[in-house]
Amino acid sequence: MALNLHYTLGMDLHLCNFNNNHDSSRCEKIKKEATMNKLTFPVLSYKSALTIALVYSLGLLIASSNAHATQISLNFNSQGYSGNSLESGGSFTWTDINGSGVDLTWAVGGSGTSTDVNDNPSGSGLSIGQNNGGANGTIHEYAISFSQAVKNVQFSILNINRNAPASLFQYHDLLTFSAGATFSNLAGGVTTSGLQLLPPVGTTDIEMADITYSDYTNGFTITHGGALGNVNPGFLRFPSISFEIPTPSTALLFGLGLIGLISRRRG
């Protein structure tokens, strides 16, 4: 006998034993089926039956959060985003992404003598940085936040690189991430050190990496800059981002329904 059927039959039998107002003909059929499957349960008190339903529903809630999720994707070059939206410590919010009800806000902060960024649409995404060839100790902080907790956040960063030694034009895309980040699909010579991505010498989008925040989060930060010699950061490209939001399962609704049925006896 399948576990779910066994559990459902058992809960139905509990209800019949517990609730005197339950449909008598249906209860007889349930009791016969329980006997055929050698399933018996004692009569439970109100508190005991309600506790079982609550535990059952909690288990379904945990399973639901792990097994039932809706994936949402956002191209950054959308919903009215335009060049220089993030300049001078600015921010931009993409609202109700794909009808999910989730908003994403990108805010910029930083430190150093020249912290302003330049940001512009780039294909399906955006490019952001400074790339002024200076060594002013500029550090940019990109704070990405969500209007509700999400999980399995995934995005790529392209054009992670630095200038060649002795080059007259300086740039260095050292990236440091808040806790929880994991890295994959490193390409073009990009390497890692703890929560940092280390840039190779280069000038193209092939120097890239994928970043994931698997656990539930309301947001994360990326620090761009802080290289030796106070070399300022260059430009990065962010094409898109995806994340998951939990979807209530029908099994969870069934479990909550059990609580409602049991509670009727108290009315």
Contact 221, 178 (CB under 8 A): yes
Mark 30-60 as b/e (b = at least 16 C-beta within 10 Å). bbeebeeeeeebeebeeeebbebbeebbeeb
pLDDT tens sequence across 18-69 = 455 455 676 677 567 656 665 554 545 556 555 655 655 555 555 555 556 8
Tokens 């029908």 belong to residue: 250
What are the tens digits of pLDDT across the range 155-203?
999 999 999 877 778 999 999 999 999 999 999 999 999 999 999 999 9
Using one digit for the tens of pLDDT, what is the confidence trace for 216-231?
Answer: 999 999 999 988 888 9
The Cα–Cα gap between 22 and 20 comes to: 6
For the entire predicted model, the pTM comes to 0.70
CB of 239 closer than 8 Å to CB of 124:
yes
How are the residues of the chain apportioned to helix, strand and coil, as percentages rounded to the nearest 5? Answer: 30, 35, 35
* Dist. CA 116–CA 138, nearest whole Å: 9
β 240-246/191-193 pair status: unpaired
Domains and CATH numbers, the chain: 3-68+248-266 (no CATH), 70-246 (2.60.120)
